[in-house]
Amino acid sequence: MRYDSDYVMCECPIDSIKGFVEGLEKDHSIRVIKEPSVCLTMVRAEDSLEKQEFYLGEALTTECEVEVDGEPGYGLCLGEEPVRGYCIAVLDAMIQSDLEHPRVNDFIETQRSVVERNEKEEYARTLKTRVDFKLMEEDD
């Protein structure tokens, strides 16, 4: 499965994204437009039969807006994660404006492989908990 950049930034280890953005702060002018704040975001879904959109409910999210060298960036992530929201906003500004793009792309590609590996490991752990009902019937 190929994950998009937004998913990777939301799922990668917090220490990795925080450390990377701290390195970028030394080379770029970053201004926080809107401090990371917790909010509720409506979650849209689609009815599988009638193909009509509806709102499933609300999710707790963190959002942040920044300017990196004059370029706007927006970060949004699930849960109460102000550091991640800020980091996503900084990376968003850089991706949208091509600032340090190769360096950011390399980081995202590296983290994409980390996220993929972590999800495969989690899936393997989940499979170990699966119950084989045929084996249970043979024991009786």
**Nearest-angstrom CA–CA distance, 81 and 62:** 6
Residue 130 lies in a domain: no
What's the domain count of the chain?
Answer: 1
Mean pLDDT over 1-21 rounds to: 90
Domain-embedded: residue 139: no
Phi, psi dihedrals of residue 138, rounded to the nearest 5°: -70, -30
Whole-number pLDDT of residue 136? 59
Domain of 46?
5-119
Euclidean distance between CA atoms 26 and 112, whole angstroms: 24
Residue 66 Cα to chain centre, angstroms: 17
**131 falls within a domain:** no
Q: Please give the sequence-ordered ranges of beta strands (E in DSSP) within the chain, or none if there are none.
A: 30-46, 53-68, 71-78
137 or 83, greater pLDDT: 83
Give the whole-angstrom CA distance, residue 98 versus residue 96. Answer: 6
pLDDT value, residue 140: 52
| 101-128 and 82-97 helices, crossing angle to 10° | 130
**Tens digits of residue pLDDT in 99-131:** 667 889 899 999 999 999 988 988 888 888 877
What pLDDT does residue 76 have?
Answer: 96
CB of 41 within 8 A of CB of 61? yes
pLDDT tens, 90-107?
A: 999 999 887 667 889 899
* First and final C-alpha spacing in the chain: 41
- The tokens for 99 are 């600032």
pLDDT at 2: 62
* pLDDT band for position 1 (cuts 50, 70, 90): low
* pLDDT in the model for residue 57: 93
Query: Does residue 46 form part of some domain?
Result: yes
**83 falls within a domain:** yes
pLDDT tens figures, 30-85? 999 999 999 999 999 998 888 899 999 999 999 999 999 999 999 999 999 999 99
CA dist 128 and 42 (Å) reads: 35
pLDDT of amino acid 99? 65
Q: What is the pLDDT of residue 101?
A: 73
Could you tell me if residue 128 is inside a domain?
Answer: no
Whether residue 140 lies inside any domain: the answer is no
Residue 104, domain member (yes or no):
yes
Residue 59 falls in which region: left (phi positive, over 0), alpha (psi -120 to 50) or beta: beta
